[in-house]
Chain A
Amino acid sequence: MTLYIKHKQIVVPGELIIDEGKYVVEGKVYCINKRYYSKVLGLVEVDEENKRIKVISLKGKYIPEVGDIVIGKVIDVGLTNWTVDINSPYTAILQVTEVFSKPTSISRNSLSQILDVGDIIIAKVIAFDFTRDPLLTIKESKLGKVTKGTMVEIDPSKIPRLIGKKGSMISMIKDMLDVDIIVGKNGRVIVVGKNPLKEGISTLVIKMIEKEAHTTGLTDRVKIFIEEKLREVKQ
């Protein structure tokens, strides 16, 4: 059994990772003739302690999964639904019944008064199986139209890095900059802060994490970056 790669190595599609055997292999890999190959341009994580290997994609489109919180943009208003762009090859649908808890009768005109083209919403994916467009809901708490803040778009594959282990990265940004951050699985992030300067720094920080997501020691560098920016603001 041979391990062909090292921890934190960047691999290309078709690059041999490991022979089948001692390690549990996860992520963006495929297996033929008892050998695991990467199927993406990715980063390998080797967890020697738990004998796990994971290949994480460095780039890629968002593919909806049921339960995902996404940030969508209304692009069309229909008779009984809205068409919502969720930064994915699959455009989502938001039915009227997923907006109101009680049955309501409304005309097309009033539909656009509730959500109009260009509106940003925080929504949850409630159905998707590739055969039909994904369905959204905004009926639950914390979901619905976004009325303030700044939206940042990053590569969806970088979202886990932005959140960090057990939310460590995102909590640090929130605490240091006194902002609220809503992260959509689809690569869109909304930052709301009382201080517009701090809101601006937050967006820079998020872009920095996207660019350097595959490097180690990132949390420390982000901390230093924020401290520097805050000093600049005070001056």
Chain B
Amino acid sequence: MSSKASEVLSLLKRDVLLGNLKRGERLDGRGPEDYREIKIETGIIGKAEGSALVHIGDTKVIAGVKAEIGTPFPDTPNQGVQIVNAELIPLASPIFEPGPPGEDDIELARVIDRGLRSAETIRLDELVLIPGKKVWTIFIDIYSLDYNGNLFDASGLAALSALLTTNLKKTEITGENIILKEEEQPLPVGRKPVYVTLVKIEDILLVDPSYEEELLADARITFIVDESDNICGIQKGGKKGFKPSEILKAADIAIETATKLRKILPST
């Protein structure tokens, strides 16, 4: 099985990786807290209201935003609707299998969703057309294209970049009638959360893990950080645990890293 072959790290490579890490060096020459090069392209899909392709090193993720007029959830009649979906498609890696979303896809989507909600990135209260009846539904669909580590950060960055460049049609409302106009306006956005993931290998913390580092990792943690250094979400993963002191250290590193990442966000 090809997927199994690429999920097993050769012991030889493991030893090299570990040896280098203990000297503070990563296989691609980065230091423990260095991020890979990031490139963000926005507005690449004409049919979508917003879109972004994010490269973090060799990892590529595309996010598209579609907007539809729909009905609000009964418990939030005066709010728009946000729906995040993520697909780890087989095109992106030999370890991804075709079929309905598995637990990894769902976890990814839900973590991205929680960060955007906690930060109130989409101003859902401003997306009401007819209170209690008609609101904008914003769909954010995240597709991995090339998986070489750190899908959480790449997906978060792609979703945020797409939202920051999303335009909605202006509307004219007469009674129960909604007329969509040609003119557009930017999607109302609030705070801008940045996702920063670290992995732990033995007692070393690494920012922005590569695929091989993820394979070797004992545990993973993602912090979602807004512009006032508030944490808008956390997700721990992986087969081992963290000492509380390691988590607090990771949080500090994540907040610092987020400040740097924020500088390259597209302007609205």
Asked if the two chains touch in their complex, CB atoms less than 8 Å apart, one says no
Q: Which residues of B contact A (CB under 8 A)?
A: none
